[in-house]
Amino acid sequence: MVKKKIEIKNGKEKVKKILARLVIVETIIFVFLVAYAALPYLKLSDAVVGANNVTVTTLLQVGNVYPEIVNFTYPTSISLTPNATANLEIIVIARDYNNDTDIQNITLTFFDNAASSLGAANDNNVHYTNNSCSINVSYGDQYHVSANCTVPVWYYANNATWNATILVTDNASLTDSNSTLISISTLLALGLPNSINYGIVNATSVSAQQIANVTNFGNTRFNLTLSGYGVLAGDNLSMNCTLGSNKNISVNYEKYNITASNTSSLNLTQFESIYLNLTSSSVAKTFNLPQRQNDTAAYIDETNATYWRIYVPKGVAGSCSGNIVFGAVQTAGS
């Protein structure tokens, strides 16, 4: 009986062990099936079983790349043109490895580095833009373009250090930019009528007042220098006449006022008290004429009047002519 009990107990132990092994096998099979089912989602490569080195291929599709400014050439300074524009021209070389046709636009912004900024509004004194520079895709290879960026700069643009900024934009709105400094030189220039015509004036009479408007055709405030001559500079004459015993009018008989107008009829004494004598040597007078500020209309803030008369002495007759020399200066005037 004892022996049979031992055999039954041993049999039960064997069954337990067999069942435990079956559970382990089933667990392994279950884990394998789960892993195998997950393989497509894990994107695991099929590798050579048993190899000690496996090479995995990597793939990438490059989208858009940034355009690049390779180089740009520019002048270090600009000399302006009186009462006109002077072109600032910058040549740009740009590159885009997606292809040169991917470069959509190249712009130039030119502004007074102290008085304006990159995003400010256009103003002929301080800010200019060219939003569509001329692009040449035939330049270089398939990746490179050249561009001509030009802006016409007005004569009254500030004499200062300016910033020139180039911006390149591609079809994906990716950009590259670069900038440099360019100076604008001082321009002293003035405009006047071709002549001052006193009309018919009798001997020993003072002419009616004539106006000569002075316009600032430069980019800085200036004073005036004034001098006159009849035939040759320094001859102490205001006019030379075709008839008469003398044929010359002394320079001091032509007079001016640069601050006030007077349209009254004057005798010589009154004339001499109100107007200043013209001289053969140049004299600096305070005039303080500013550069132009109004972009839409000229001859407003940059124009001021000067007033002129002449006395005709005895001894001259016929037709008379002379010369007045106006100068723009930054020196102080009296």
The CATH number covering residue 316 comes to 2.60.40
Give the residue among 121, 287, 255, 114 at the shortest CA–CA distance from 188. Answer: 287
- State whether 323 and 209 are in the same domain: yes
In a domain, 201, yes or no: yes
- State whether 130 and 239 are in the same domain: no
- State whether 89 and 136 are in the same domain: yes
**Tally of structural domains, the chain:** 3
In a domain, 149, yes or no: yes
| Pairwise CA distance, residues 14 & 117, whole Å | 92
In a domain, 57, yes or no: no
- State whether 72 and 9 are in the same domain: no
273-301 average pLDDT score: 97
- State whether 165 and 210 are in the same domain: no
In a domain, 51, yes or no: no
- State whether 262 and 140 are in the same domain: no
Residue type, 90: I
- State whether 204 and 264 are in the same domain: yes
- pLDDT of 116 over the 70 cut: yes
In a domain, 48, yes or no: no
Cβ 319 vs Cβ 230: under 8 Å: no
Last residue of a domain, one of 27, 43, 59: 43
pLDDT tens track for 1-55:
444 444 445 555 664 665 556 555 555 555 445 455 544 544 444 555 667 899 9
- State whether 294 and 246 are in the same domain: yes
In a domain, 63, yes or no: no
Residue 44: what pLDDT? 44
- State whether 29 and 77 are in the same domain: no
| Pairwise CA distance, residues 152 & 130, whole Å | 9
- State whether 6 and 93 are in the same domain: no
231-253 average pLDDT score: 97
- State whether 163 and 262 are in the same domain: no
- State whether 105 and 230 are in the same domain: no
Give residue 29's domain range: 1-43
- Give percent of the chain above pLDDT 70: 85
Q: What angle do CA 90, 92, 93 make, to 5 degrees?
A: 160
pTM, two decimal places: 0.79
In a domain, 60, yes or no: no
Q: Which residues contact 328 (CB under 8 A, 6 or more apart)?
A: 188, 189, 190, 216, 218, 222, 223, 224, 225, 289
In a domain, 221, yes or no: yes
